[in-house]
């Protein structure tokens, strides 16, 4: 790693690196990825162990504070989050301003940004206590806001948070319960969704996290920074890939048609790619994909689904691709999105909600990264350079002479 700043000071020369493939924008102690070995650690703990043994709020505490909580710290943190799950009654008005068929991600960008107009008492980012309250508010309100976006998009009344439930059970209830009807959260499905959230919580300097850091580097309001992260996540090259993978599996339909799609993926004259395969950093099996595949099996078993054609197609596609020279040479393995679409669909979420669920989980990573940035002594406003390729200085011509 070359620290280019002193080189720039001495020579005035800087690097050209579109897409930041070879540029570290910060130092971070939160998430470690070894793409060649297929390793993902949160604060040093393997993602597989956290998904297996922890729950959402325990991992959130770990990402925010750097250590797993003691029982006392856990109780205190859970209480602090629970305290903030409600949203202000006036916030409902923002939902009513959207067309009823608005995409839930559009609603998320607007409503989360609007939080900046509600909480003036937690936006002095120089004050550690205020930063913490803003973090708790954001993590606590995200399920409520996301469930409201879903309910609004399907024309059902909002369901209030129930603070005696776990973070994820409360979210499922706010999504799937309807007034005056009993709703019991299925513990197996809830556990699977909790795992999915943990897998999505952080992934170091991806596009949306970098967006949050860049927006925050100017000292901007933290809620507005998270809204910027949601906007970035919405893009199909980032949070939207699981929907594309699900659509592809539905289009393939049966294992018999897989060879046709494999051939298309290998054909350089065909723009088609196997969705849910390949990754910029992982050149090995994405460790999240393994956990996701297991969660997918658990969900389908809990729902009594036998021989799900989508899952069968996915597993056969994986088997064929992983024994094909093209995919082996290019180190293309299933990524997290390969199995997540099938799982989320089975859990009852429509595809338009997939990226919203991703945003809900990633909020923890965004907040942890934002906090780390604010507390970093090296932190300066993010300000990339450019290679100017436009015209040199020109003389202004009045309009009648152009």
Chain residues binding ligand ACO by CB under 6 A are 238, 241, 265, 273-280, 330, 332, 335-337
Q: Rounded to whole angstroms, how far apart are CA atoms 43 and 206?
A: 17
Question: For residue 294, with 0-12 CB atoms within 10 Å meaning exposed, 13-18 middle and 19 or more buried, which class applies?
Answer: middle
Toward ligand ACO, which CB reaches closer, 238 or 290?
A: 238
Catalytic residue among 55, 279, 286, 308: 279
The whole-angstrom distance between residue 177's C-alpha and the CA centroid of its chain comes to 25
The contacts of residue 255 (CB under 8 Å, 6+ apart) are 312, 313, 316, 317
Instruction: Report which secondary-structure segment, H or E, holds 45.
Output: strand 45-46
User: How far apart are CB 199 and ligand ACO at their closest, in Å?
Assistant: 10
User: How far apart are CB 136 and ligand ACO at their closest, in Å?
Assistant: 26
Q: Rounded to whole angstroms, how far apart are CA atoms 293 and 295?
A: 5
In this structure, the dihedral spanned by the alpha carbons of residues 381, 384, 388 and 390, taken in order and rounded to 10 degrees, is -70
Toward ligand ACO, which CB reaches closer, 289 or 346?
A: 289
Q: Count CB atoms within 10 A of the CB of residue 309.
A: 14
Active site residue 203: no
DSSP 115: G
The contacts of residue 117 (CB under 8 Å, 6+ apart) are none
| Token representation of residue 299 | 């969900």
Active site residue 308: no
User: How far apart are CB 25 and ligand ACO at their closest, in Å?
Assistant: 18
Toward ligand ACO, which CB reaches closer, 134 or 265?
A: 265
Toward ligand ACO, which CB reaches closer, 24 or 178?
A: 24
User: How far apart are CB 108 and ligand ACO at their closest, in Å?
Assistant: 18
Toward ligand ACO, which CB reaches closer, 241 or 300?
A: 241
Toward ligand ACO, which CB reaches closer, 79 or 280?
A: 280
Q: Which residue has the closest beta carbon to ligand ACO?
A: 278
Task: Decide: 195 and 291 in contact? Cβ < 8 Å.
Answer: yes
User: How far apart are CB 203 and ligand ACO at their closest, in Å?
Assistant: 7
Toward ligand ACO, which CB reaches closer, 122 or 355?
A: 355
Catalytic residue among 337, 376, 377, 400: 337
Over the range 157-195, which residues count as b (16 or more CB within 10 Å of their CB) and which as e? Answer: ebbebeeebbbbbbbbbbbbbeeeeeeebbeebbbbbbb
User: How far apart are CB 332 and ligand ACO at their closest, in Å?
Assistant: 5
User: How far apart are CB 49 and ligand ACO at their closest, in Å?
Assistant: 21
The CB-based long-range contact list for 314-318 (8 Å cut-off, 24+ gap) reads: 314/249, 314/338, 314/339, 314/342, 316/255, 316/258, 317/249, 317/252, 317/255, 317/258, 317/261, 317/262, 317/274
Task: Decide: 87 and 71 in contact? Cβ < 8 Å.
Answer: no
What residues act catalytically?
A: 279, 337
């Amino acid at each position: 790693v070359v620290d280019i700043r002193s080189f720039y000071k001495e020579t005035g020369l800087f690097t050209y690196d579109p897409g930041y493939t070879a540029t570290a924008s910060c130092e971070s102690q939160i998430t470690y990825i070894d793409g060649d070995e297929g390793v993902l650690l949160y604060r040093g703990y393997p993602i597989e162990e956290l998904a297996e043994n922890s729950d959402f709020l325990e991992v959130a505490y770990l990402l925010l504070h750097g250590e797993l909580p003691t029982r006392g710290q856990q109780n205190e943190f859970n209480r602090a989050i629970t305290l903030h799950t409600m949203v202000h009654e006036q916030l409902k008005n923002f939902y009513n301003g959207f067309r009823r068929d608005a995409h839930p991600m559009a609603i998320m960008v607007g409503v989360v940004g609007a939080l900046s107009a509600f909480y003036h008492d937690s936006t002095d980012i120089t004050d550690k206590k205020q930063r913490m309250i803003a973090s708790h508010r954001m993590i606590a309100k995200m399920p409520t806001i996301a469930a409201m976006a879903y309910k609004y998009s399907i024309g059902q009344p909002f369901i209030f948070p129930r603070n005696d439930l776990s973070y994820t059970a409360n979210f499922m209830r706010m999504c799937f319960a309807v007034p005056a009807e009993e709703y019991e959260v299925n513990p197996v499905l809830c556990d699977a969704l909790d795992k999915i959230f943990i897998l999505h919580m952080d992934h170091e300097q991806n596009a949306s996290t970098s967006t949050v850091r860049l927006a925050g580097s100017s000292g901007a309001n933290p809620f507005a920074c998270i809204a910027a992260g949601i906007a970035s996540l919405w893009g199909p090259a980032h949070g939207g890939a699981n929907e594309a993978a699900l659509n592809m599996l539905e289009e393939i339909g049966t294992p018999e048609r897989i060879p046709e799609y494999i051939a298309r993926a290998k054909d350089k004259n065909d723009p088609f790619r196997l969705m849910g395969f390949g990754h910029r950093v992982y050149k090995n099996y994405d460790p999240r994909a393994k956990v996701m595949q297991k969660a997918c099996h658990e969900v389908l078993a809990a729902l009594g689904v036998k021989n799900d054609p989508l899952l069968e197609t996915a597993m056969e596609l994986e088997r064929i691709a992983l024994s094909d020279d093209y995919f082996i040479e290019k180190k293309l393995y299933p990524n997290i999105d390969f199995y997540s679409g099938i799982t989320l669909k089975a859990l009852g979420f429509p595809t338009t909600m997939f990226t919203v669920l991703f945003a809900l989980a990633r909020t923890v990573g965004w907040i942890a990264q934002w906090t780390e940035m604010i507390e970093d002594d090296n932190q300066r406003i993010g300000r990339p350079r450019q290679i100017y390729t436009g015209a040199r200085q020109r003389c202004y011509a009045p309009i009648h002479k152009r």
